[in-house]
């Protein structure tokens, strides 16, 4: 889930290499088929301008199209140009000028291994891959050269993903987000008291996961997805889980206006 800044770094590493050459080099890596769920999420999303002609998988986009390139696990990254590996290895990123999203398929499983409380199931890994891919397509569609803070763009891209996720997948996303939130707390602070839902120390500790990096911490993003689902579905179970934790979670100032915009967009 890299940002454009990462791509700029990658491009600098390559000297005068252009986005086009970066894409051409990435395209030479071995690719693998995308799951039907990933394809469905993205196809729903890009059926409107500027990508009204749809998406292509593992191929160059034509006029009015965008493309997803899914790099196969165990791709020979050491043989790839340095900038390509820097941008896309163990990552998911986009090249706006080429209308391409490039994801290293190994990233999904490896990232969750470090960020969940319980080992991610195959279904959770697939849903996470939808999140990552959908997020990057959100950047492609929404990030014109607007002058908004980086983290605002990230929440906006996550919101765009959620809008284009099939409603029947929202409940599994609650489980995945809860698993990620609990896992992130566990990795940061060690074992927590037993409990249900988000597992945290409810004895008054303040959790500060806000960050100055391009992307908000994954816990903040997982919690925001839960907040959005709670609002959209008026879900008392999610509310009961979130409200006590939110009181101990330092709020991220870049979220407020975005939350209102996102919730408005979800009421379609
Ligand atoms: Zn992003």
Residue 90 Cα to ligand 1 midpoint, Å, equals: 14
Q: Mean pLDDT, the chain, as a whole number? A: 87
* 15 CA distance to ligand 1 middle (Å): 24
Judged by average pLDDT, the poorest of 106-120, 212-226, 253-267 is 253-267
Going from the Cα of 219 to the center of ligand 1, the distance in angstroms, rounded, reads: 14
Q: What pLDDT score does 210 carry?
A: 82
Q: Which of 12-21, 57-66, 212-221 has the highest mean pLDDT?
A: 57-66
Q: Ligand 1 centre from 202 Cα, in Å?
A: 31
Which SS3 state, helix, strand or coil, does residue 107 take? helix
Ligand 1 center to 204 CA (angstroms): 32
Q: How many other CB atoms are there within 10 angstroms of residue 27's CB atom? A: 18
Task: Count Cα neighbours of 245 within 13 Å in the Cβ-side half-sphere.
Answer: 24
Residue 259 CA to ligand 1 center (angstroms) comes to 16
- The helix/strand/coil state of 119 is coil
Instruction: With 0.75 as the threshold, say if the pTM is over it.
Output: yes
CB 146, CB 103: distance < 8 Å: no
The residues spanned by each domain of the chain are 4-105, 150-266
For ligand 1, the distance from its centroid to the CA atom of residue 3, given in whole angstroms, is 5
Ligand 1 centroid to Cα of residue 87, in Å, is: 13
The helix (run of H) or strand (run of E) holding residue 133 is helix 122-142
* 161 confidence band (pLDDT: 50, 70, 90): very high
- Per-residue pLDDT, 12: 42
* Cα of 132 from ligand 1 centre, angstroms: 8
> Does residue 14 surpass a pLDDT of 50?
no
Q: What pLDDT, on the 0 to 100 scale, is given for residue 97?
A: 92
For residue 264, how far is its CA from the centre of ligand 1 (angstroms)? 21
Cα of 258 from ligand 1 centre, angstroms: 15
DSSP labels, 203-255: SSPPB----SSSSPPHHHHHHHHHHHHHHHHT-HHHHHHHHHHHHHBPPPTTT
- pLDDT-derived band at 232 (thresholds 50, 70, 90) equals confident
Q: How far is the CA of 195 from the centre of ligand 1 (A)?
A: 31
């Amino acid at each position: 889930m890299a940002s454009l800044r990462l791509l700029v770094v990658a491009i600098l590493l390559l000297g005068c290499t252009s986005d086009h050459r970066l894409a051409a080099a990435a395209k030479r890596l071995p690719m693998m088929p995308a799951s039907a769920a990933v394809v469905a999420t993205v196809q729903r999303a890009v059926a409107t301008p500027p990508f009204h002609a749809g998406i292509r998988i593992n191929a160059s986009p034509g006029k009015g199209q965008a493309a997803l390139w899914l790099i196969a696990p165990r791709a020979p990254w050491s043989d790839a140009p340095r900038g390509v590996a820097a941008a896309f290895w163990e990552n998911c990123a986009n090249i706006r000028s080429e209308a391409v999203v490039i994801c290293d398929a190994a990233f999904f499983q490896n990232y969750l291994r470090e960020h969940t409380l319980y080992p991610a199931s195959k279904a959770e890994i697939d849903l996470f891959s939808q999140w990552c891919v959908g997020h990057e397509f959100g950047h492609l569609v929404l990030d014109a050269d607007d002058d908004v803070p980086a983290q605002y763009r990230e929440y906006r891209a996550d919101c765009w993903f959620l809008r284009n996720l099939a409603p029947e997948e929202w409940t599994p996303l609650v489980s995945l987000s809860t698993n990620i939130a609990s896992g992130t707390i566990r990795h940061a602070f060690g074992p927590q008291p037993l409990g249900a839902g988000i597992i945290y120390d409810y004895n008054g500790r303040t959790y500060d996961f806000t960050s100055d990096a391009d992307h908000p911490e994954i816990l903040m993003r997982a919690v925001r997805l839960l907040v959005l689902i709670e609002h959209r579905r008026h879900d008392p179970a999610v509310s009961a889980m979130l409200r006590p934790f939110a009181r101990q979670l330092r709020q991220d100032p870049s979220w407020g206006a975005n939350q209102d915009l996102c919730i408005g967009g979800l009421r379609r």
